[in-house]
Structure 1
């Protein structure tokens, strides 16, 4: 199956995270331009840096290298806006940025209508209209909702012990009575533990899914001599009730992601696919069994592979004293790219950026060779 797509390729999001990538590792990668790369591309609303770079590059995530970006520019990547022109400096093997300042806007080599510039910061309207790195609308819920629980994170979590008028479930505006230490927090997310996530290789439980239910706001802290706090439901995505657990709401992330290879060699497996499907296509979210302690950070890009099957070789002879036929492992087959956008200790979320075959649980995700 080719060109397996399930979601539109160009989406905007209001919440992204700024990170500084592994520049040294990126510099060691060879980023090749496509043989049929165009001379230029006029940026339009809805473009992403990944899409634009994919027009010119064999590996779109190589774009920081071919821009010749320094650490300051990478840390502040709001420098491409609709109406600007990306042009291919074939002599230098670099991409350049230009602004339309008049003329017919053709933007070709020597065209006076284009002012050629290096990537630079834009001080006014920062981030409002800037082209984002990846199509991120689909990942926004995964940025702030606690969907992965590791280790003893559930230990001593505050919990709902009663509801307003003993309702089985509560919704927006209803009261909830909570017991547990708040540690100074006033805004909490409510979740319910879900199924365990097992490593496809070891079968050990590496984390637990958590179903996000909504948010609670502290109305009245517990009086002296009691540990029961009064909360009000600020938002409800799903029904919540007695026994559900609370976790402090994380801060809203800022913009923007920059793709880069991880600092160390990483080989992971796909743990789970989200949105209730068994196979994942482009712009769908998966979790993998590697995280921060394994060398991954936000913006890491891994290649996806179907793991090669182990087959018998009926034509090989092992001698009369050996029974059976020798086993041979077939090569892993590359099927796409995975962009890591949220990292826990041992688990990470990734957005599938390019895919030629459906991705399955157990598929391999590893550093590009």
Structure 2
């Protein structure tokens, strides 16, 4: 984490940043501040009158205490963000920002930690270090998929009915699922396909949004191709046609190689194809999806540059005015933390200009 913070502001190479840190720190106590990605409330969410724009967390306070100071009905938000909200500690600062009808909540964490760097610099700009990633910013993407590939969408189990024979299924209901081929799995999640994420011309579909509905557990073996599951947690009603996929085990190593992606790996048509959590402006510690994956040679730990696309203007200072395209500008740095066949999740670890959907990514 320290490496990311230092690298984000030093305007130097990863290797240089690492050398600077090694020359300054060995075993010191420092205060680490992590700015997690914002949690955005729905438009027109009723707020508590005179809700604070900044609040310092007190000893033993929980998220239920915090949200009750901000919104009139905190329970739906506790359920929606379950598993994503970071653990609170005394001294953390909750920031409330308003933009139009939208209100976002950001957590600034101030913790005293002991640095014990397990760091070495090797050839090829490769660095291995103590935990370098704010895991709380990406935890939800390790435990629950926010995207479905075309193959996952086609091969997933799907809900055909429930035991009560009602239109909607809710907590503790038994649901009947077809096409559930994961015979060794017992824990599942239920999702609903949302918007599709495609190439700029719309011809290539990379993935679909996976709207999380709840968790389910296996109850009985499939009979005539129909499996029985019980809903153990729900955030929305489950309907006929919703998809069921296994939770699985997604191993994640906090220690991994941090290395610039090779130039021959990133082609001219590499760009951001999706912005996770529906934020309108992409900034530091937001999660994006790029149209590069394992098939392209991308691995966890690869660093990519992201550029802001240059616009076009009319040069009217010449005898014959003509349209001129402005050059792309360096906008930030991405860290790949989860890789699929054709797409990957990336964390924005550095943002010096606003980043937008379809902005190109390049090798550093």
TM-score, with length taken from structure 1: 0.62
Q: Which whole-Å deviations, capped at 9, do the CAs of 1:156-183 have from their partners, x for residues lacking one? A: 4221111131243333322111122424
> Which of residues 279, 282, 285 in structure 1 aligns to 2:284?
282
Contact 2:117–2:130 (CA<8 Å) still a contact in 1? no
SS at match of 2:274: strand
Q: Pick the aligned partner of 1:365 from 351, 356, 361.
A: 361
> Radius of gyration: which is bigger?
1
How far off is 1:207 after superposition?
Answer: 2.0
Match of 2:158 in 1: 159
Three-state SS of the structure 2 residue aligned to 1:280 is: coil
* Matching residue of 1:32: 16
Aligned residues: 267
Rounded to whole Å, the distance in 1 between the matches of 2:291 and 2:200 is: 8
2:341 alignment partner, one of 345, 349, 352: 345
- Identify if the C-alpha distance between structure 1 residues 155 and 40 changes in structure 2 by more than 3 Å, giving closer, same or farther: same
Measure how far apart 1:231 and its partner are: 0.8
8 Å contact from structure 2 (residues 176, 227) kept in 1: yes
Trace 1:57-206 onto structure 2 (pairs within 5 A). 82-84=113-115, 131-184=130-183, 185-200=185-200, 204-206=204-206
Q: Does 1:355 align with 2:351?
A: yes
SS at match of 1:296: coil
Q: Is the 8 A contact 2:197 2:205 kept in 1?
A: yes
Residue 212 of structure 1: CA displacement? Answer: 2.0
Q: Distance in 1 between matches of 2:257 and 2:362?
A: 18
Cα gap change, 1:245 to 1:200, in 2 (>3 Å): same
Q: Name the SS for the 1:165 alignment partner.
A: coil
Once the two structures are superposed, the pairs formed by residues 201-220 of structure 1 within 5 Å of their partners are 204-220=204-220
Task: Give the structure 1 partner of residue 39 of structure 2.
Answer: none
Higher relative contact order at CA 8 Å, sep ≥6: structure 1 or structure 2?
1
Distance in 2 of aligned mates of 1:325 and 1:285: 41
Do structure 1's residue 252 and structure 2's residue 283 form an aligned pair?
A: no
Given that 2:118 and 2:130 are in contact with CA atoms closer than 8 Å, whether structure 1 keeps it comes out as no
- CA deviations 1:83-113 (Å, max 9, x no partner) are 346699xxxx979xxxxxxxxxxxxxxxxxx
Q: SS of the residue aligned with 2:159? A: strand
Q: Could you tell me how far apart the structure 2 residues matched to 1:36 and 1:245 are?
A: 49
Please list the CA deviations of residues 133-188 of structure 1 after superposition, one character each: whole Å capped at 9, or x if unmatched.
11120211111323222233322422111113124333332211112242413322
The answer on whether the counterparts of 1:291 and 1:347 sit within 8 Å (CA) in structure 2 is yes
Aligned to 1:112: none
1:299-324 Cα distance to aligned partner (Å, 9 max, x none) = 1111121011233333445xxxxxx5
Separation of aligned partners in 1, 2:131 and 2:248:
22
Once residues 220 and 34 of structure 1 are traced to their aligned partners in structure 2, the CA distance between those partners, rounded to angstroms, is: 53
Gaps of 5+ in 1: 1-8, 11-28, 50-80, 96-118, 121-129, 318-323
SS of the equivalent of 1:172 reads coil
* d(CA) in 2 for partners of 1:167, 1:347: 38
Q: SS of the counterpart of 2:169?
A: coil
Give the number of the structure whose residues are more often strand, by fraction.
Answer: 2
The equivalent residue for 1:334 is 330
Following superposition, the deviation at residue 82 of structure 1 comes to 4.6
How far is the alpha carbon of 1:338 from its aligned partner? 0.8
* Match in the other structure for 1:228: 226
For residues 32-55 of structure 1, the C-alpha deviation after alignment (integer angstroms, 9 at most, x for no partner) is 359997952355477499xxxxxx
